[in-house]
Chain A
């Protein structure tokens, strides 16, 4: 069996072909929230969106959030997720002060940095394999209101990205960049760099109207994301801002969760869907390596709709199998065109492995067992903590 939260992992880490899934989404009750300290305790199936609805009006925010708020607390722990503030806050697991693990023999274990710390380290980032996380305590972050002050800087090449990152990571809590991965040659690695902080109270601003969100009602027979639309989109997006820098105060929703605004957006990729790929390469070779990755992508013509680049900080990840580590991370999604897409991803894997980097299991559907074992050398030690009744399609794929 395998716990299944809200199914937002891109690959097979939340699937268990031929086995049983434990639908944990129904563990959706809050247990305690102290609005003076920001300590929240809830069951593991509670969604980040539900937490935000509850705590933002009371002046608190998630300590770390991925690019969608439709993930469960249990899933966020099991994948030790990260966000645009990784250089400051590290991963989500660092803000989990305690969790309860239910094992298949019926025993329950409370784990934290002090209590069964080895089990805590195995469960954070443990891909749901150490047992069912039933509840957790999370330390939230204080905010003045739901507003963000954002700046978007245009950069012309990768060097520009690294320069902006270095300048920004000290004074800005959230940094991330979008890269035009269709552009080759001189424009290789051009893009838009976003940096933001929570804004001070902003009494005259009004939240976005909670109107109906648009929805992709059906899956088109072919992918709407193809070489032509990619080129058009990437070029237009890069030039959407004329000025080199633009500044704005925005609500946190469009800042953190742009894609959550469109229901079932994944359908635009057609019946074959898409492949996510996120890797991290160590700081020493970051620029050369990222350039090699972007080169390989531009040369392949596969192109990614959303290419996201970010500098991870050196805050240690608490999990044995946590993905984030110091360096530069690049996240991409490719329309799935079968063999050609897979062979591009294998080429990217070679570059990442040679640099001593890693690929993110939560977004993977195809890495080889050899690659996985290189990226996560602690996997064998970790495997002692796997519940004898638990397994996943991902785990069988990368270890058997």
Chain B
């Protein structure tokens, strides 16, 4: 039986992923800010077949609380097969431009807190010598664009950090998986007009579970974002700065 920890468990992608693990009979442990929603989700996952579902409340922006929560995890579970970091917000770029305080807070939520959690989890996974740390980054981290470069910068930090961590933990048999979703139809993106490039949370969840099972390093979800981002990354800067994206 797999033991799966999900941080940011009330996000749509996280919940869809949890359902897939529940259907396999996994033992799940959920972490998020809102305990009422955690309760509802835990109840649902039990009906869907999860062997056990535990949960704990954590505001990831409270960096000092991370150590205690991670310690409790190993205290309760003994060992962890999969840890998925899925929390995040979609910052209002213009608000981030107008206020340094807002910008740094959003960077904390989407970048610093993830790096802090990855550090704390790595310290536990390393001696364990097995398992997967999966982290949801974003295609937005592949190149800064004027429409959301605060978010993009935070995700770029996460992707780069995860790449280094992957090299470090590969030696001991722990995989680090970087997930780069494109546009996903979730509450986080409720104000966007949806088009052909948009994916449902469950499609992303399916990709996360499959990439975890196969020990992949970096996965774009859906797959077509890989060629799209390859092109976007290679547009020369003198052209890129002139286009609207």
**Chain A residues within CB distance 8 Å of chain B:** 29-33, 42, 54
**Could you say which of B42-50, B135-143, B147-155 contacts chain A?**
B42-50
CA distance A33 to B43 in the complex (A): 10
Smallest Cβ-Cβ distance to B187: which chain A residue: A26
Majority DSSP secondary structure for residues of A touching B: strand
Nearest B residue (CB) for A57: B49
Q: What chain B residues lie within 8 Å of A31 (beta carbons)? A: 43-44, 47
Q: When the two chains form their complex, are residues A32 and B43 in contact, meaning their CB atoms are under 8 A apart?
A: yes
Interface positions, chain B 15-68, Cβ under 8 Å from A, are 40-41, 43-44, 47-49
User: Whole-angstrom distance from the CB of B84 to the nearest CB of chain A?
Assistant: 19
Instruction: Pick from A29, A31, A42, A54 the residue with the most CB of B within 10 Å.
Output: A29
Q: Would you call A54 and B43 a contact (CB within 8 A)?
A: no
- Which chain B residue shows the least CB distance to A29? B44
- Chain B contacts for A32, CB-based, 8 A: 43, 47
Which of B41, B43, B44 has most chain A Cβ within 10 Å? B44
For B43, list chain A residues within 8 Å (CB): 29-32
Question: Nearest chain A CB to B210's CB is how many angstroms away?
Answer: 15
> Cβ of A42: which chain B residues have Cβ within 8 Å of it?
47
Task: List 9 interface pairs A-B (beta carbons < 8 Å), by A numbering.
Answer: A29-B44, A30-B43, A30-B47, A31-B43, A31-B47, A32-B43, A42-B47, A54-B47, A54-B48
Instruction: Determine how close the nearest CB of chain A comes to the CB of B109; give it in whole angstroms.
Output: 23
Whole-angstrom CA separation of A54 from B44 in the bound complex: 11
* Alpha-carbon gap, A31 to B43, bound state (A): 6
CB distance from B158 to the nearest CB of A (A): 27
B240 to chain A: closest CB distance in Å? 35
Known: A30-B48, A32-B47, A54-B49. 15 other contacts (CB 8 A): A29-B40, A29-B41, A29-B43, A29-B44, A30-B43, A30-B44, A30-B47, A31-B43, A31-B44, A31-B47, A32-B43, A33-B47, A42-B47, A54-B47, A54-B48
CB neighbours of A30 from chain B (8 A)? 43-44, 47-48
Interface centre among B41, B47, B48, B49 (most CB of A within 10 A): B47
- B22 vs chain A, min Cβ distance (A): 10
B residues in contact with A54, CB < 8 Å: 47-49
Q: Which residues of A contact B49 (CB under 8 A)?
A: 54
Distance (whole angstroms) from the CB of B21 to the closest CB of chain A: 15
A30 to B41, CA, bound (A): 9
Smallest Cβ-Cβ distance to A28: which chain B residue:
B44
Contacts of B47 in A (CB 8 A): 30-33, 42, 54
